[in-house]
Structure formats: C-alpha cells, structure tokens
Chain A
Amino acid sequence: MDARNFTYMFYGFTAAWLIVMLYVISLARRGARLKKELEDVKHLVKGERSTPEDLLPNRMR
C-alpha cells in the first residue's frame, strides 16, 4: 500500500509539472513562429515600399 501510495504521489506531481511544461513548450514554439512571421511580414512591407519614405503614414517610420 505504501509503495503504491508513493508511486501515485509521484504520478500526480509528474502530471502537474508535465502539463505546465507542455504549455510552456507550446508557448515557446508559438513565440518563435510569431517572431519569424513578423520578420517575414516586415521584409514584405519593406520590399513593397515603392513610395518615398516621407509619403508613408507616421506609424510606419
């Protein structure tokens, strides 16, 4: 009974940590993907800029 008690206690702790760790990993992956996507879109905007800079809206400068 004691050994089973301890085993399930560690299952419980493992489950708690595992769920949080899996979420942290998914956050990290999402962050990396968003960072890359932001870089790509910034390059896209820079590449499509055919007008002189002073004609762009303020927020793009």
Chain B
Amino acid sequence: MRERLSIVLAAIAALLLANNLHAMFLTLPDEAMQGAIYRILFFHAPAAMVGMIGYFVALTLSIMYLSFGDFKYDSLAASVIEVSLVFSLVNIVTGSIWARIIWGIWWTWDYRLTSALVCVLIFSGYIMLRRAIDEPTQRARLSSALCIFGCVDVVIVWKSIEWFRNQHPGPVLDFRTGGGRMDPAMSHVFYMNFLALLLVATALVLIRTRQESTAREIDSLRRVAHAA
C-alpha cells in the first residue's frame, strides 16, 4: 500500500516537474536584471521550504514518539529529517551557484545562509547520532531529544530573514510581503514546483520509512535467532 502510494506520488511529481520545466524554459521570459540564471529560484527556494517544513514535521513526530512510544513516529521522523537534509543541501548548492553569477561570490556569511548551513550541520549530527546507537529504544529516545533541541535552532533560521537584512535578498513571495515582487506567472510556476518537490519528498520519506521498518524487523528477528 505504502509502495503504491509512493509510486503514485512520484508519478504525479514527475508530471508536474515536466510541466514546470516546460513553463520555465519555453513560456517564461528571462528576468529583466538577472537574465536566465533566475530560473534556479524555482528549485532553490522550494527546496529550502521543503527542508524547513520537514524539520518541523520531524519535531512534531519526535514529540509524538516521546509521548506515545510508538516506533513508527521515530521511523517517520528519521526519514523526514534525512530527506529534508537532502533538500537543504540542494538549497545551499543551488544558492551558491546562483550567487556566483549575481553577487560574484560563491558564499557569503550573512545570517540567513549561515543559519541554513547550521541547520544542515545540526541534522547531520542527528543522522550521525542515530548511526552511533545500536539499541532501538535508546536511539529513538535520544534522537528525538536532539531533534527537539535542533528545531529550536531552525526557528532562529526562520526569524533571521526578518531580524537581519544583509546580502541575501529580502522576501519576494506574496504571503511574506503582502503584495509580492514576483510576476504572477513566475509565482505560479514557483508554487507548482514547490508542490512537485513536496510530492518527491513525501515519496522518498515513504520509501525510507519502509526501510526503517524493515531494519527493525531484521533487528527483532536477530534477537529471536540469538535467543534460540
């Protein structure tokens, strides 16, 4: 059932992406000041949004695991964080490539970019912690605690765009500025691509969660084998 769902989600995402790519390259014109390179925005910012949503979903799942003790919440949290890390990496790398052309530099230490990198480091620590603990209950408990602490830092990332204005551009999306500075045709493609990436992320999370369940099944079978 879960496999079928992930296949369906991946298929819808593929169709959306194909449609969006067509729109990006053949329908939308180049941006007045940036030229063709602005199209990276359609992956850069949605990837960041998917990553951030993932961290908060993982926070909720971690709290649910600590409250109810059901391993499925822990498996989901671990899967969501792993996939969010991938999308955060996409965000940082594409942003760096975009910055090379627009700002002339690969990287700048403004607070938002720094905070995005900090998030990647924190949740990489989460993945490393999980790999260092063999016992499933201890692993779930401690990584849930780390996830909760880590998400406090994600809040600082989210607020930093409002607290500090630095080299990173200010908000351009409608829901943040109340009026928006992006052309409606571009913002339509933007949100469609965000939806596509969200579906891709969801499909990957479902596959990864299935693998976590399999790993737990292997673990319990091994205990039976050793006990016999």
Contacts and interface: CB of A to CB of B under 8 A. Distances in A.
A and B found bound together: yes
A9 to B, nearest CB: 5
Of the candidates A6, A12, A23, the one having the most CB atoms from chain B within 10 angstroms of its own CB is A12
Given A16-B94, A19-B89, 18 more contacts: A2-B35, A5-B101, A9-B39, A12-B39, A12-B44, A13-B43, A15-B94, A16-B43, A16-B47, A16-B93, A19-B86, A27-B204, A27-B211, A34-B214, A37-B218, A38-B214, A38-B218, A48-B228
Contact of A11 (B90, B97, B204): B97
21 contacts: A5-B101, A12-B39, A12-B94, A12-B97, A12-B98, A13-B39, A15-B94, A16-B93, A19-B89, A20-B200, A23-B83, A23-B86, A27-B207, A31-B210, A34-B211, A37-B218, A38-B221, A41-B218, A41-B222, A48-B225, A50-B228
Interface of A: 1-2, 4-6, 8-9, 11-13, 15-16, 19-20, 23-24, 27, 30-31, 34-35, 37-38, 41-42, 44-45, 48-50, 60
A47 B200 CA distance: 41
B11 interface: no
Nearest to A5: B35
Contacts of A6: 36-37
B32 interface: no
Contacts of B83: 23
A49 B89 CA distance: 47
Nearest to B35: A5
Nearest to A42: B221
Q: Name B's interface SS.
A: helix
B204 A5 contact: no
Interface of B: 35-37, 39-40, 43-44, 47, 83, 86, 89-90, 93-94, 97-98, 100-101, 200, 204, 207-208, 210-211, 214-215, 217-218, 221-222, 224-225, 228
B224 A60 contact: yes
SS of A interface (majority): helix
Contacts, number: 86
Contacts of A12: 37, 39-40, 43-44, 94, 97-98
Contacts of B35: 1-2, 5
Nearest to B85: A23
Contact of B211 (A15, A16, A30): A30
A59 to B, nearest CB: 9
B227 to A, nearest CB: 10
